[in-house]
Amino acid sequence: MKLALLLLLVVVQAKASELPREIGDALKKSGISQDHVGIYVRDVSKKNPVISWRADNAMSPASTMKLVTSYAALSILGPAYTWKTEAYIPGKIVNGALDGPLILKGYGDPRFDIERIRLFVDDMRARGLKDIRGGLVLDRSYFSTKENPGNFDNRPYRPYNVTPDALLANFEATSLKFVPNEKGIEVIAKPDFGSLSITNALTPSQDPCGDWEDRISSRIESDGKRARLHLSGEFPMACGEKEDSLALYDHSEYLYQLFSRLWMASGGKIDGAWREGPAPVDAKLFAVSESPPLSSVVIDMNKFSNNVMARQMFLTIGALNNPPGTEQSADGAVKAWLRGRGLSFSELVIENGSGLSRMEQISARHLGELLEDAYNSPIMPTFFASLPIAGIDGTMKKRLKNTPVEGRAWIKTGALEETRAIAGIIQTQSGKRFVVVCFVNDREAAKAKPAQDKLLEWIESSL
């Protein structure tokens, strides 16, 4: 009997180390070497994987690294965790006037967006503050990171390259809306600080919409406080209205301009510039803005693969017990938490927790084991609810639509140059649930989508 069980185990392991023919064919058709692929598939109720193809190789996970960050955050901080942004005053308010600066101290809120800032302003106005006569003091000391936003790919103005900050405001984004009309292509910037000048040389095109962003050339000049944007190329009229975003300002300048604009729009006055510094110990706490709970924030982060939100979350973990939060303290805290759960990933490298990195790595097996651990944890519903659903929403909205996989797979995606990744969980029609991880690190990785979709379809139909 023992011999029979041993032989069965050997057969299962042999099959697991082979790629299903359909997957191998799809990779070959895409020109992707099987030696540059790592796949791990396991029934959550079983001990042995169904597929373990090069699953122990350390590979670039791209944005699927956010699964490590979000599971760690939900476990360490807790789903109900909230971020605060505090406003202090150094003296008294007399007849609505503060004869000194308003002090803002941040704790890394990833969702301190324009609507939340407007509510914060309204709250302070309702408390009797009208006239700020000493500008703003910005306390950004809860995080410590000095990364240049252009380090990753020399494109510092792209929103995905925004660096984390304890007082991150509105993702530091300036939205550009392209509006075709009888005059041509109008470009509307929001929020419009008045410090952005746009030279619009766009011409209308009768071509299909397609990849409209690739048809626009932009040249940006910015000193962090003022910016010039030169636009040229063609915009297809068939697109209708489209929107893009840029990050044109330094952290403190963006917050000051946005806050000042909202403050004056509310009927208040503000004189003076901004400076950075710690909140004085004798300053009086005046008002507090509190974020939505982590359980809500992690949905926004994972569904749409928001890099700066992941980095804010990662640094928050690092700052929890000993601020300021740094990438090094966050890395240590996450790895200590993993070891505490019996997850020792010797090959794991975390640079910033978002996957937007040339350094970050993990094996397909270990990311799969992390997903299995999450599946068996109390936060399982919250964690997996944050993942994009195949054919339904997020980065998987347009994938596997009108297939049996639609609505049955919760999959985090990842994409970098020469990297494509998927990781998550899929439920077959029979009710079985499988953890699935697939990394492609290959020069032809951009062509990996059909093979990765085929893998999900094969699991759904064959297991």
Encoded tokens for 161 = 């390259």
Model pLDDT for residues 130-153, shown as the tens digit of each residue: 999 999 999 999 999 888 888 899
Would you state the pLDDT for residue 147?
81
Q: 3-state DSSP call for residue 125?
A: helix
Instruction: Kindly report the average pLDDT of the chain as a whole number.
Output: 94
Buried b (16+ CB within 10 A) or exposed e, 325-351: bbbebbbebbbebbeeeebebeebebb
In the chain, the percentage of residues whose pLDDT exceeds 90 is 92
- Domain at 9-80+295-462, CATH from 3.40.50.620, 3.20.20.10, 3.10.20.30, 3.40.710.10: 3.40.710.10
* Residue 4: predicted pLDDT: 45
- Mean pLDDT over 313-327 rounds to 97
User: Domain 84-149+250-292 maps to which CATH number in 3.50.80.20, 3.30.460.30, 1.10.3720.10, 3.40.50.620?
Assistant: 3.50.80.20
Nearest to 387 by CA among 209, 267, 399: 399
d(CA 258, CA 117): 9
Do 9-80+295-462 and 84-149+250-292 have matching folds?
no
Residue 15: per-residue pLDDT: 65
Give the model confidence (pLDDT) of 222-251 as tens digits.
999 999 999 999 999 999 999 999 999 999
List of residues 6+ apart from 310 with CB closer than 8 A: 66, 69, 70, 301, 352, 353, 354, 355
* Residue 12 clears pLDDT 50, i.e. is over it: no
pLDDT per residue over 326-364, tens digit each? Answer: 999 999 999 999 999 999 999 999 999 999 999 999 999
pLDDT of residue 17: 76
- Determine the Cα–Cα distance for residues 310 and 374; give it in Å rounded to an integer: 18
Nearest to 438 by CA among 47, 71, 53: 53
Domain residue limits, the chain: 9-80+295-462, 84-149+250-292, 174-246
- The pLDDT score that the predictor gives to residue 148 is 87
Instruction: Render pLDDT for 364-400 as a digit per residue (tens, 0 to 9).
Output: 999 999 999 999 999 999 999 999 999 999 999 999 9
Instruction: Say what the pLDDT of residue 183 is.
Output: 87
How far, in Å, CA of 176 to CA of 27, rounded?
A: 38
**257's tokens:** 């301009």
